[in-house]
Amino acid sequence: MLHTIIKRSPLAFLIIWYFAGIIVNRYADIDVRYWLLTSSVLLTAGFIRIKNDYSILLILTLMISLGGLNHSLRIQKENNHISHFIDETEKNIIAVVESSEAYSDGRQKIIAGDLIINEPSSIQCSGKVLLRIKNSSRRYFFGDSLVFSAILREPSSRRNPGEFDYRNYLANHHIYALVYLEENQIQVIEPRQHVLLRRFANRLKYGIQDLINRSMEGEPAAILQALLVGVRGEISDETEQAFVDSGAIHVLAVSGLHVGYVTLAFWVITGFLRLPLKPRVIITILVLVMYILVVDVKPSVMRAVIMASMVLISKGWEKQVNVFNSLAAAALIQTLIDPLQLFDMGFQLSFTAVFSIVYIYQRIETLLPEKIKPSELHNNAVKYVFQMFLVSLAALIGTVPITIFYFNRIPIISMLSNIVIIPLIGVIGALGFAQVILGSIWNWFNIAYGEIETVLLIILQKIVTLFSGIPGAYITIAQISMGTLILLYIFIFLLLNTDKMKIRKGLVFGLLIAGNIFIWKTVFEKPQLTVTFLDVAQGDAALIKLPDKRTILIDAGDRTFRRDYGELVVAPFLKREGIRQIDVLILTHPHSDHIGGAPTIIRNFKVDQIWESDIAAGSRIYQEIHALADSLNIPVLTPNSGDMVT
């Protein structure tokens, strides 16, 4: 089957080599001149027409060179790059809005580029900045030129094992500086005239948010905004964590499902208007392009729109389309525009999931006994449920190495939860788009649909919470290396592409042996006591691992309005180490910089007992810790001199 895919989908094969060039330059950082020279030589050789024996090698090497060249060009930092101007001095800055999100509590998040720094002469800067604005009553749209004075701050990097590397994440989106402002510190200059389409899309997004907020409120409104326009900032941490634990977090990301509803809606509308086939295709594609702009050009939406457009074009012009070529074309277009997208987690999960659903599903189906293949099932309900299960299984198999790499977990429950959640999301999404279209014409529709949506979204929340609370919903795994990630994909590839049962059994047996070697190696290792001190800024946090594998956590860092060090530092470190249980949580004294992160730890890990000092406190965090301990039946002890952990 793999040979067939390569033969019928040459672009899918070639793009692997293009990606290889991007990855090589990412880690080797080869000078752009060498990539340019190599690409030029290979292109010249191609025109000269080297013998056919070498043509394949020439093409593959050229793809590697083009990938490396594109990446090298995009990461160049000239002398006027914004990262060179980060210091503790306040600067007068002009920045142009590229995307924005506004929330009901007055917060706004803006990505701005086309930067000009006046100090004292004007300097045009490359790179982007992320503006975080609070107490804002106005909205900022694409193309607005903002004038402000502020200190450019460098995003925080990873300072602890397992900690999220925020600086690297932003750099992959070409953002190199943070700015914190209030509305009264910003002056808006007249927007540029050539960005009217993007401004219209931006206003349309805010219009959809306002329409939803007029008919709904609270968590249902927040979830619907995430589903329709990709704004997730209003969803509470508890709800988002429930989606994560139930293996359904992907439904909150605007993706192919949502693009499918937009495509279907306008395909039906243009059909109702009795338009010819080709104009229907063109109009639907233009609407999809507008939808990309509304959701701020998210990778998963771009991928889905490119693939949908290729299907529509093939329908309009009566051409056949290959799904693997379509997927490869979408990935190539996105990474030609911005090669750094290859390192975006959303990009990786989106493309891997689609490839897995198409390819791995087919492989699983061929491996099934004839009697239980979906095509042989006659009961439609059973057939649908079984197909949904196989689709979820295929997606899980394909994405689980990436999920382990980034999140240190395997969402086992997703195979079952998605059977229920995805159809419900489908209904909610369809009603949501109907609410937007009809509700903008007559408010009665908005209110009526809002009532129905609220009920369905409350049901969705309850289902998600139910699945997330099932014991064993997910398995926590210790951090894996990039090498292990690659080996996992090689194992999956070999397992799925080996037709002989003996070889397949041998692969599984080999994996079990490797697992046993790893387990027994840890059993026979000499027990050691280790102490890890975590960097939690002003506060304190330290983990003690005893020789008998018991764990003691001393303090959990601070929690402020902006940062919860329990969530950002301590919990990721524990997950990276594969720790699910804290035998003793010691809170040395009830100051926020020592106990602030404790509630997060208590909620997300099994804590056997809590030790605290005899200093009483009435702070909100202190009371929250005791309330959590009571609800989870965790004993809170005040030890005396000489007491020991037993």
Write the pLDDT tens digit of every residue in 70-106: 888 888 888 888 888 888 888 898 898 888 888 877 8
Q: How confident is the model at residue 473 (pLDDT cuts 50, 70, 90)?
A: confident
Strands 606-612 and 581-587: parallel
Q: Are 93 and 59 in a shared domain?
A: no
Amino acid at 222: A
CA 485, distance to chain mean position in Å, is 18
pLDDT over 60 at 5, yes or no: no
Strands 530-533 and 187-189: unpaired
Let me know how long the chain is: 646
Say if CB 358 and CB 324 are below 8 A apart.
Answer: yes
Q: How many CA atoms lie within 13 A of 304 on its CB side?
A: 23
Q: Are 543 and 617 in a shared domain?
A: yes
Say if CB 421 and CB 248 are below 8 A apart.
Answer: yes
State how far the Cα of 253 lies from the Cα of 232, in Å rounded to an integer.
Answer: 8
Q: Are 550 and 571 in a shared domain?
A: yes
Q: How many CA atoms lie within 13 A of 88 on its CB side?
A: 0
Q: Are 591 and 610 in a shared domain?
A: yes
Is the whole model's pTM more than 0.85, yes or no?
A: no
Q: Which of 471, 489, 501 is nearest to 404 (CA)?
A: 489
Average pLDDT, the chain: 83
- What is the pLDDT at residue 53? 54
Say if CB 302 and CB 236 are below 8 A apart.
Answer: no
Q: How confident is the model at residue 482 (pLDDT cuts 50, 70, 90)?
A: confident
From residue 591, alpha-carbon distances to 163, 275, 364, 428, 572 in Å are 23, 69, 55, 45, 22
- What is the pLDDT at residue 501? 58
CATH of the domain at 132: 2.40.50
* pLDDT tens digits along 411-464: 888 888 888 888 888 888 888 888 888 888 888 889 999 999 999 999 999 999
Judge whether 43 lies within some domain. Answer: yes
pLDDT over 70 at 509, yes or no: no
CATH of the domain at 572: 3.60.15.10
pLDDT over 90 at 130, yes or no: yes
Those residues whose C-beta lies under 8 Å from the C-beta of residue 317, and which sit 6 or more positions away, are: 278
Judge whether 299 lies within some domain. Answer: no
Q: Mean of the pLDDT values across residues 591-620?
A: 85
Q: Are 70 and 86 in a shared domain?
A: no
pLDDT over 60 at 1, yes or no: no
State how far the Cα of 380 lies from the Cα of 369, in Å rounded to an integer.
Answer: 19
Judge whether 644 lies within some domain. Answer: no
* pLDDT tens digits along 187-215: 888 766 567 788 888 888 888 989 998 98
Q: How confident is the model at residue 502 (pLDDT cuts 50, 70, 90)?
A: low
- What is the pLDDT at residue 315? 78
State how far the Cα of 622 lies from the Cα of 354, in Å rounded to an integer.
Answer: 46
* Highest mean pLDDT out of 363-367, 547-551, 618-622: 547-551
> What's the chain's Rg over C-alpha atoms?
27
Judge whether 325 lies within some domain. Answer: no
State how far the Cα of 278 lies from the Cα of 181, in Å rounded to an integer.
Answer: 49
Q: Mean of the pLDDT values across residues 527-550?
A: 85
pLDDT over 60 at 467, yes or no: yes
Say if CB 623 and CB 562 are below 8 A apart.
Answer: no
**Which residue, 492, 509, 524, sits at the end of a domain?**
524
Q: How confident is the model at residue 475 (pLDDT cuts 50, 70, 90)?
A: confident
Judge whether 395 lies within some domain. Answer: no
* pLDDT tens digits along 12-59: 888 888 998 899 888 887 877 777 777 777 666 665 555 555 667 777
State how far the Cα of 92 lies from the Cα of 115, in Å rounded to an integer.
Answer: 11
Q: Mean of the pLDDT values across residues 156-175?
A: 86
> What secondary structure does DSSP assign to 507-575, as a single string?
HHHHHHHHHHHHHHHHHHSPP--EEEE---TTS--EEEE-TTS-EEEE----B-SS-BHIIIIIHHHHH
CA 361, distance to chain mean position in Å, is 23
Q: Torsion angle, CA of 611/617/622/626, rounded to 10 degrees?
A: 60
In which domain, by residue range, is 628 found? 530-637
* DSSP annotation of 358: I
Strands 175-182 and 128-134: parallel
- What is the pLDDT at residue 190? 72
What sign does the dihedral 308-313-318-324 (CA atoms) show? negative
Judge whether 590 lies within some domain. Answer: yes
Q: Are 579 and 602 in a shared domain?
A: yes
Q: Are 59 and 130 in a shared domain?
A: no
**Is residue 218 left, alpha or beta, with left meaning phi > 0 and alpha meaning psi from -120 to 50?**
left
- What is the pLDDT at residue 458? 94
State how far the Cα of 431 lies from the Cα of 450, in Å rounded to an integer.
Answer: 9
Q: Are 67 and 90 in a shared domain?
A: no
Q: Are 92 and 183 in a shared domain?
A: yes
pLDDT over 90 at 10, yes or no: no
Number of domains in the chain: 4
Q: How confident is the model at residue 641 (pLDDT cuts 50, 70, 90)?
A: confident
Q: Mean of the pLDDT values across residues 221-240?
A: 86
pLDDT over 60 at 522, yes or no: no
Say if CB 155 and CB 178 are below 8 A apart.
Answer: yes
- What is the pLDDT at residue 4? 59
Judge whether 70 lies within some domain. Answer: yes
State how far the Cα of 23 lies from the Cα of 67, in Å rounded to an integer.
Answer: 8
Q: Mean of the pLDDT values across residues 156-174?
A: 86
Q: How confident is the model at residue 471 (pLDDT cuts 50, 70, 90)?
A: confident
* pLDDT tens digits along 354-391: 888 888 888 888 878 777 777 777 777 778 788 888 88
Residue for token digits 């039906």? 268
- What is the pLDDT at residue 46? 60
**Which residue, 58, 74, 90, sits at the end of a domain?**
74
Say if CB 552 and CB 587 are below 8 A apart.
Answer: no
Q: Are 19 and 107 in a shared domain?
A: no
pLDDT over 90 at 520, yes or no: no
- What is the pLDDT at residue 511? 62
State how far the Cα of 555 lies from the Cα of 550, in Å rounded to an integer.
Answer: 16
Judge whether 405 lies within some domain. Answer: no
Q: Are 607 and 578 in a shared domain?
A: yes
Q: Label residue 220 exposed, middle or buried (CB < 10 Å: 0-12, 13-18, 19+).
A: buried
Tokens standing for residue 365 = 């189906």
- What is the pLDDT at residue 297? 79
Q: Are 571 and 549 in a shared domain?
A: yes
* pLDDT tens digits along 266-305: 888 888 888 888 888 889 889 898 888 888 878 788 888 8
Q: How confident is the model at residue 507 (pLDDT cuts 50, 70, 90)?
A: low
**Helix, strand, coil: what percent of the chain each, to 5?**
60, 15, 25
- What is the pLDDT at residue 551? 92
State how far the Cα of 110 lies from the Cα of 141, in Å rounded to an integer.
Answer: 9
State how far the Cα of 267 lies from the Cα of 196, in Å rounded to an integer.
Answer: 26
Q: Which of 103, 325, 121 is nearest to 222 (CA)?
A: 103
Tokens standing for residue 391 = 């689709």
Q: Where are the beta strands (DSSP E) in 2-155?
A: 90-102, 108-118, 122-125, 128-134, 145-151
**Which residue, 156, 191, 226, sits at the end of a domain?**
191
- What is the pLDDT at residue 490? 81
Neighbouring CB atoms inside 10 A of 606's CB total 12
